[in-house]
Amino acid sequence: MRYTFKQMPKPKLILLNGFAGAGKTTVAKMYIADHPLAMVIEGDELIVNMGSWQANEDEARRLLFLLTKAMARTYLVEGRDVLLPYLVTSAGDVDEFEKIAKDIGAEFYEFILHNDRPTAIARLLERGTWGEAGQPPISDDELPVIEDLAARMERELEKRPGAIRINVKVGDPKITYREFVHCLSE
């Protein structure tokens, strides 16, 4: 008697880059709705569970990065897909996520959900918050910080020419999601 074993698909580590308000988390949550036991690791939801994180933001973000890597590694080892909505401020972070996928034998996908800078900033201002629960509304005084962050993200993403760029369909995340799924299946 000959036994055949079904080859399980490799787990995927999917990094969704983009500016705040680009729809990264929305696309990730649409994916997990269609893929049982896939997981979104949402940094904005994790960091608010750290005591006094705002007063210790640099250390909180460092710890969040370590936690995110450990969670992704653990979940991928179990053969499950992981999605990381991420605002890249260091291409080195992306390198580390890519290395985790390689070490485990998972597939690594890197997407950029893209808006031009004025549209991206307008969407963030329209949303009114950075994303972390309990944060005060964004004020006009923060515009220089927002501009700087957008420019920094753009510079870092230039170092990642292999990322798959998807132009965000403002007001219709289903179109963005369909394009995302299509790119994953190619």
Give per-residue pLDDT as tens, 27-59: 999 999 999 999 999 998 999 999 998 899 999
Which amino acid is residue 133, in one-letter code? A
Highest mean pLDDT (candidates 80-84, 122-126, 140-144, 169-173): 80-84
| Entry pTM | 0.89
Cβ(65)–Cβ(93) under 8 Å?
yes
pLDDT band at 116 (very low <50, low <70, confident <90, very high): confident
In this prediction, residues 155-176 reach a mean pLDDT of 91
Q: Parallel, antiparallel, or unpaired for β 107-114 and 164-167?
A: parallel
User: What is the phi/psi pair of residue 45, to 5°?
Assistant: -80, -30
Highest mean pLDDT (candidates 8-12, 62-66, 151-155): 62-66
- The label of the residue with tokens 């640099």 reads 58
**3-class state of residue 52 by DSSP:** coil
Kindly report the number of other CB atoms within 10 A of residue 139's CB atom: 9
Distances from the Cα of 102 to the Cα of 13, 163, 165, 186, angstroms: 10, 16, 22, 19
